Structure 1
Amino acid sequence: MTKKVAVINDLSGLGRCSLTAAISVLSAMGIQTCPLPTAILSSQTEYPSYYCYDFTDKMDYFRQEWKKLGTCFSGIYTGYIASVPQIEEIFHFLDTFQTPDTFLLVDPVMGDDGMTYDMYTSEFLSAMKELTARADVITPNITEFCLLTDMDYNTLQNSSLSLHQLISCLKDASHTLLTAERAKKILITGIRFTTDDGIPKIGNLLLDGSSHFLSAFPCCDGSYSGTGDLFASCITGGLARGTSLTEMMQTAGSFLEKALADSVKEQVPVNEGVNFEKYLYLLH
């Protein structure tokens, strides 16, 4: 039977991110995607103009109707969340559908490059910490990891730490997240470093308390919309299929490396996201 995953995220008409990315990736991986929108936008928010319809007061209708139908999910994946009331709606959803056999992946979208997004407040951070405590896997970037663990982002980024020292610092800080309600794995995305022979790379670091695994690929010029959504969607699909996280990190990295290189070659505007569609076959 085809696995079902509930994906709680926004739907953006332009920008190849959020639900557009998740539905494409999970479908290519043979997973049925059941979208629950948090907001519906004409385009992702980096565009100079966009329309946004807040879906908060409609979210519980999905929960009620899916419960009436006796729906069960192999997994639940949360992405962009616009407010504390939306996180509260997600708690209701988890109370209904999260079981010991249902994994939860939380992509704690709050900021990037040391800057927080518009929806971020101290109340939002507290609610997000509660949500990540219920997750099996979380996929923060370094900015979001620092927010969740109360680390200072600037100290971490501005110091002359070697890659080994950086990983050690991240491992030490991760223990506050690992002692939560469910056994958790932390997958920190977008770690930029330079190899000993001068090659710039970007990596994703898996921490589970006892060990770590770094998957790294050559850096590409430009920061494109939706790459984090594509990566988290790949990891979600891997969890649903029973693929190991380390194997799925490598597959997702290769998929994104090709899509990014193609986008740079084609000079795709960064707001449009990456040319990932022609590389979905790598995820079959």
Structure 2
Amino acid sequence: MNRPRLVVVHSLTAHGRVGLKPFLDVIGVDCLPVPSLVASGPGDMPGARRQTLDPADLLLATLEACSGLATPVDLFIGYLADATQAERLAKVVDKRRDRIRHLIVDPVCGDDGRAYVARELIERWSVLLARADWLLPNATEAMLLTGTQHAESIEALRVRYPHAGIVVTGLLTEDAVETHVQPPPPARAFVHRQPRISGRANGTGDLFAATWWHEFCQSSRSLEEAVDVAARAAATLVAVQPPASLVPSFP
């Protein structure tokens, strides 16, 4: 069997290590990029410009082009510009679900305890989460999606999406960053703990997701091994990123 490929719907930025860039870096030519928007930099970069795209038609064409390939194809959906994109992508998933081995959804909507997208998009992520095989929210997103606090959010996701695997990243303790993993039933849940280090975490969620997919879905390592490798990769990125004062801005 040929190596699995991953279609990635995500943002594409000129500056920064976010969105599609970590996937292209980790997965290389086996990553089939479908930009949801293009921007000069990530959302926290002062003066960054952005242009929203319509990824649904490009996703449909990409999946149809995969029809002749004798290789598994997974679909990862990350940053979306608005609720309309979520609705249109859900229709494409339904139309070509036969070409998608695993649907993995990272419901990008917030971090550090706050939302950075419109409430309408947070609410409409449900149309994709309900179709997903794996959910990859961070701790803030789990809270925003369920309307609960961190202690209850993982269980709330499990109740809402009982057939999906759930990987919640970025739960901070005094000395560790925890990843809470609830595999599809009947497998047992577990918690991975990575020593906490100081630094900027920009792009760590995307690097975690790309590395996790490469290790677990493409290289067939165990779920525990894949989470460990992904968490260590994210920690390495935190350690090497420049401070915020050195991040370029635009007039």
Is TM > 0.5 for Structure 1 vs Structure 2? yes
Find the counterpart in structure 1 of residue 88 from structure 2. Answer: 89
Give SS of 2:75's match: strand
Partner of 2:57: 60
**2:222 is the counterpart of 1:241:** no
Residues 4 and 171 of structure 1: CA distance in aligned 2, closer, same or farther (over 3 Å): closer
1:251 is matched with which residue? 229
> Within 1, Cα distance between the matches of 2:145 and 2:68?
32
What is the total number of aligned residue pairs between the two structures?
Answer: 241
Aligned residue number for residue 104 of structure 2: 105
Q: Which amino acid aligns with 2:233?
A: F
Please say if residues 3 and 74 of structure 1, whose CA atoms lie closer than 8 Å, have aligned partners that are also in contact: yes
User: For residues 203 and 194 of structure 2, what CA distance do their matches in structure 1 show?
Assistant: 18
- Residue 216 of structure 1 corresponds to which residue in structure 2? 193
When residues 45 and 101 of structure 1 are mapped into structure 2, their CA distance, relative to the original with a 3 A threshold, is closer
Give unpaired runs (5+ residues) of structure 1: 157-165, 195-199, 273-284
Q: Secondary structure at the match of 2:160?
A: helix
| 1:19-34 matches, cutoff 5 A | 19-27=20-28, 32-34=30-32
Secondary structure of 2:236 counterpart: helix
Q: Is the 8 A contact 1:4 1:32 kept in 2?
A: yes
- Alignment of structure 1 residues 1-284 onto 2, 5 Å: 1-27=2-28, 32-56=30-54, 59-64=56-61, 66-67=63-64, 70=67, 73-99=72-98, 102-117=101-116, 119-121=117-119, 123-151=120-148, 153=149, 156=150, 166=151, 169-179=152-162, 183-194=163-174, 200-208=175-183, 211-237=188-214, 238-263=216-241, 267-269=242-244
For 1:255 and 1:68, how far apart are their aligned partners in 2?
Answer: 32
**What RMSD in Å do the two structures reach over aligned CA positions?**
2.4
Structure 1 Cα separation of the partners of residues 8 and 205 of structure 2: 15
The 1:96/1:172 distance shift into structure 2, 3 A limit, reads closer
Unaligned runs of 5+ in 2: none
Percent of aligned pairs sharing the same letter = 24
Post-superposition CA distance 1:35-79 (Å, at most 9, x none): 0110011111110011111112x6414523652663565200011
CA-CA distance at 1:232 after TM superposition: 1.1
TM-score (norm 2): 0.86
Q: Identify the residue that residue 159 of structure 1 maps to in structure 2.
A: none
Cα distance in 2 between the residues matched to 1:271 and 1:136: 39
Q: Which is greater in Rg?
A: 1
Highest relative contact order (Cα 8 Å, sep 6+), 1 or 2? 1
Residue by residue over 1:121-160, the C-alpha shift from the partner in whole angstroms, topping out at 9 and shown as x without a partner, is 2x32332012111111111112211222221x3xx4xxxx
Asked whether the equivalents of residues 136 and 169 of structure 2 are also in contact (C-alpha less than 8 Å), the reply is: yes
Q: Which residue of 2 aligns with 1:282?
A: none
In structure 2, do the counterparts of structure 1 residues 102 and 193 end up closer, same or farther at CA, with 3 Å as the change threshold?
A: same
Q: 2:38·2:52 contact (CA, 8 Å) conserved in 1?
A: yes
Report the Cα offset of residue 92 of structure 1.
Answer: 2.8
Q: Is the 8 A contact 2:107 2:137 kept in 1?
A: yes
Amino acid corresponding to residue 109 of structure 2 in structure 1: M
User: How many Å separate the matches in 2 of 1:83 and 1:116?
Assistant: 14
